[in-house]
Copies of this chain bind each other. A is one copy, B any other.
Amino acid sequence: MTKAPQSRDAFEARLRQIGAERYHDLHPFHDRLHGGQCTMEEVQAWVINRYYYQHSIPMKDAAFMSRVEDPDLRRAWRSRMEDHDGTADNEGGIRRWLRLAEAVGLDPDYVSTTEGVLPATKFAVDAYVRFVREKTLLEAVAASLTELFAPKIHANRIEGLLKNYAFADDSSLSYFRNRLKEAPKDVAFGLAWVLDHADTAEKQDVAARALIFKTDVLWSQLDALWGAYVEPRRIPPGAWQPGTGQLLRQAS
């Protein structure tokens, strides 16, 4: 006997519940960061490692569009690449992240090499890019729905960083302010698409699993960061060593 699909509202509530239980705003690294308990080395490690995620997202979106036959869907999706890679009028999220890197004392040229990124960060983020390359379009869009839960964490982050760290100002935090504008339009589109296309119980289960997968991708990055740079602070072979990759501040 075929299981009946959940109603649209019930299925949306199920997706939101996944965020309530598994989104990385629940990870203690974020309390530490936003509460001002992070050392500058920990902030730098976060910026270096999170850059790898930023740098991979447009590749993920390109992988998605490479598999979409519908021009309307590709057109709707393309703004995500513009948001990250930039346009004539918009520097884009990747450059904004490198501005944050510079503000925390790192050489943006070093950060953009992605050298020193934790292997565990690369494995997790690469798993996401490959997931989008290999799985169904429904799973790819469902995985992007962690953006549903992002505005709250970005607002908390802006407030917490501004309050607690000297490097924080409008310029260095512009990445997060822009995401507050960009994410809601993306996720409204993505959520409607998933609710429209997950029209059987089986597809709903598959979409929910895809969203869980994505929460794992985000969570495991913070676990790796914590283990390497907070506790037990065991930096794996080849990963960034505090004190390196920094801007040379010239005597003036």
Binding site for B on A (CB under 8 A): 21-22, 28, 118-120, 122-124, 126-127, 130, 212, 215-217, 219-220, 223-224, 226-228, 231-232, 234, 236-238
Since A28-B234, A120-B120, A216-B237 are in contact, a sample of 15 more A-B pairs with Cβ atoms closer than 8 Å, ordered by chain A residue number, is: A22-B237, A119-B124, A119-B219, A120-B220, A120-B223, A123-B123, A123-B124, A123-B126, A223-B224, A223-B227, A223-B236, A224-B224, A226-B227, A226-B232, A231-B231
Chain B residues within 8 Å of A119, by CB: 124, 216-217, 219-220
- Give Cα distance in the complex from A124 to B127, angstroms: 9
**Shortest Cβ distance from A235 into chain B, in angstroms?**
10
Q: Taking A119-B124, A127-B127 as contacts, is the C-beta distance between A236 and B224 under 8 angstroms?
A: no
Closest to A216 in B: B119
Chain B residues within 8 Å of A120, by CB: 120, 123-124, 220, 223-224
**Shortest Cβ distance from A24 into chain B, in angstroms?**
10
- Give Cα distance in the complex from A220 to B123, angstroms: 9
- Give Cα distance in the complex from A124 to B221, angstroms: 12
A216 with B231: CB separation less than 8 A: no
A238 with B212: CB separation less than 8 A: yes
Chain B residues within 8 Å of A217, by CB: 119, 123
- Give Cα distance in the complex from A236 to B21, angstroms: 11
**Shortest Cβ distance from A221 into chain B, in angstroms?**
9
Closest to A221 in B: B120
Closest to A18 in B: B237
A237 with B123: CB separation less than 8 A: no
- Give Cα distance in the complex from A120 to B213, angstroms: 11
- Give Cα distance in the complex from A247 to B228, angstroms: 34
- Give Cα distance in the complex from A70 to B177, angstroms: 56
B236 with A220: CB separation less than 8 A: yes
